[in-house]
Structure 1
């Protein structure tokens, strides 16, 4: 498959391309026809770092019988103001997501979309990822404008505990999963830590977007001080128990099945890291300010119980988890949302996420907890 074949819009999808990508993951599967139902591209307020195309497909008679008729094709985002450097930067996200879905396959472990195939082209930095259309299972997608009940939050925490427990200090992290990104090395680490990439983008957004600028000022911080705190938490977490983290666990990357089971989507930032990286971001973004203040400690206790029930004999104590939870909140502020322009999700979702994680940062005295590291 050549670089020009990987689509950046619905007009670029071809039957042979889809069949080839499908058969790479599902032996014996092939398509006879496909129909485009809808598309969600960057700039619509319904797509962030990648676009999505909704497709209905017809399989050949010899294909496996359990394949979904409706699938979602994730494709590279196209920005008319792109530079080669920006395309290469986003390429790191796409390469990682294809690797995670096709090599790790989260649905083996937790509630996550079934993967049907994926490919990444390092020359163009384009990708194609085929996933089941979760709407066929009547899921409810979450975001900050939709209240999250405590039961739903517990279900999501249970899913994360299942993932974290399975790979808690596992030898596989250095062997069969040695290819996976890490919080202190790799392509994603370079993207977030190279001054000319993520830090420069954040500094520009804070300077030029008023609500970002004034919210950072209200915290008594600057882009530079937050960058230093972000680097400090990365280095510190590298000394703690390691596992596989979802990596971008804001509430918008989750869904709920009709039976109340929580699910996890968008695995672009999956990496080896410390458990509170996921938990702090989920609680900080997923609960209203009042909910979080009242229930975050009991939810941390619930998460720890889930780890223990799944065999983590050396699970951190509640005091340690609370301290690391406080420290980890800086990631949601600095990388999670200061990197994110309004165009990705629209005004309300963007501002509400900033408000929640920044309020948590202040409530939890994250800067003070990080300063104690020296």
Structure 2
């Protein structure tokens, strides 16, 4: 796989936004007028019209002598933060003998708003990078990747990955999915596996250009996409599901706590983070395994960031309250079993309490989107996860845990 990036200079937020409108808007307009057909492995198609048999052969068959794609069919799927396509492929005899994938799932940035969001947010190269450099080094329940490329200049990106419905009979989860205790343990064990594999791993320094720290990622969002402003708008839109005690909290205080928690998420031991491990990015295979998909926000940072996001967004409020202490102990045991020196429980519990702000704020931001942002998630999904994460902020005394200072309190 290949992840191509360009160099981006930066002025003020308005200047960067204006540059993005001109650059990405210009590329989208030219592609609409004369949609280019792609043929070489270095090309980055973003729609079914641009994908060709020659391009598919170049990116899928290079390691198999004589193999070639003879025909293909594109099936439109869905569109949100990215455009999603399903590809049905037919190979020549050499390709069939090599067992090359016959159904693939593609994610692209075909739309202007997607390019503005992911390009200005500096996330175009992360999912291609994950599949190119990290995914195949660890045995986890997640899709296999076959090709990825990104071009910062145009905002074009594509990832070809395993179609989990075709290969594993996967069913994708939503907040309406009831997550049982064995299922959340399976998710947490899966997470512990890749966290342990990359725990303070020196090899991650080679990927620093795209595998950024949480505070860097959030600073970029705040600067270019007005995270704070959109989150405030989202709080007004989601008022009906937010506990009164949290609604009565100054947004300035809440946002300062979020900034502090983001900096804590930069502190070691560091590992690979999924970065967006909410329930909508999980699935259940036909054999009952739980896995993670959508690695667009892959980062490097503290385990507690990923763990807290998944637990607080995946579980119904009452289940999270009942299971969370046992579940954290289970996660720490999984780390230890994988050979990692896990933090002791009290230290881990405090870290968990301090990482509830991002799951809450990012979903306020999602429902509070502005005109230049794609509709990333339906409103009912946003409201369900906001209710869960807002209650976690209150239940866990997260503001007190952050404001108590470095030592905090293990209450």
TM score, norm. by length of structure 2? 0.79
What number of residue pairs does the alignment pair up? 358
Q: 2:367 corresponds to which residue?
A: 341
**How much is the aligned-residue C-alpha RMSD, in angstroms?**
2.8
Instruction: Decide whether aligned partners of structure 1 residues 198 and 22 sit closer, same or farther in structure 2, where only a CA change above 3 A counts.
Output: farther
Gaps of 5+ in 1: 42-47
**Distance in 1 (alpha carbons) for counterparts of 2:251 and 2:61:** 46
Residue pair 1:250, 1:282 contacting (<8 A) in 2 also: yes
Gaps of 5+ in 2: 5-26, 37-43, 369-374, 407-411
**Distance in 2 (alpha carbons) for counterparts of 1:67 and 1:196:** 40
Cα offset, 1:211, TM superposition? 1.9
Residue pair 2:82, 2:114 contacting (<8 A) in 1 also: no
Higher mean C-alpha deviation, range 117-126 or range 232-241: 232-241
In the alignment, structure 1 residue 68 sits paired with structure 2 residue 85: no
Cα offset, 1:73, TM superposition? 1.0
**Distance in 2 (alpha carbons) for counterparts of 1:7 and 1:83:** 15
In the alignment, structure 1 residue 243 sits paired with structure 2 residue 271: yes
How does 1:1-374 map onto structure 2 within 5 Å? 4=31, 5=36, 6-23=44-61, 28=65, 30-41=68-79, 48-63=80-95, 65-76=98-109, 78-79=111-112, 82=113, 86=117, 88-90=119-121, 92-105=122-135, 108-136=138-166, 137-174=168-205, 176-183=206-213, 188-194=217-223, 197-206=226-235, 210-211=237-238, 215=242, 218-219=245-246, 220-312=248-340, 314-335=341-362, 337-341=363-367, 343-373=375-405
Question: Deviation string for 1:300-342 (max 9, x for gaps)?
Answer: 1110110110001x2111111111111111110112x122138
Residue pair 1:21, 1:119 contacting (<8 A) in 2 also: no
Q: Secondary structure at the match of 2:394?
A: helix
**Distance in 2 (alpha carbons) for counterparts of 1:221 and 1:195:** 26
Q: Secondary structure at the match of 1:339?
A: helix
**Distance in 2 (alpha carbons) for counterparts of 1:117 and 1:35:** 18
Residue pair 1:113, 1:132 contacting (<8 A) in 2 also: yes
Cα offset, 1:197, TM superposition? 3.6
Cα offset, 1:107, TM superposition? 7.0
Q: 2:39 corresponds to which residue?
A: none
Q: Which structure would you say has the larger Rg?
A: 2
Cα offset, 1:194, TM superposition? 2.1
Question: Deviation string for 1:83-106 (max 9, x for gaps)?
Answer: 98546325x222211111122225
**Distance in 1 (alpha carbons) for counterparts of 2:354 and 2:252:** 17
Residue pair 2:238, 2:386 contacting (<8 A) in 1 also: no
Q: Secondary structure at the match of 1:127?
A: strand
**Distance in 2 (alpha carbons) for counterparts of 1:37 and 1:281:** 32
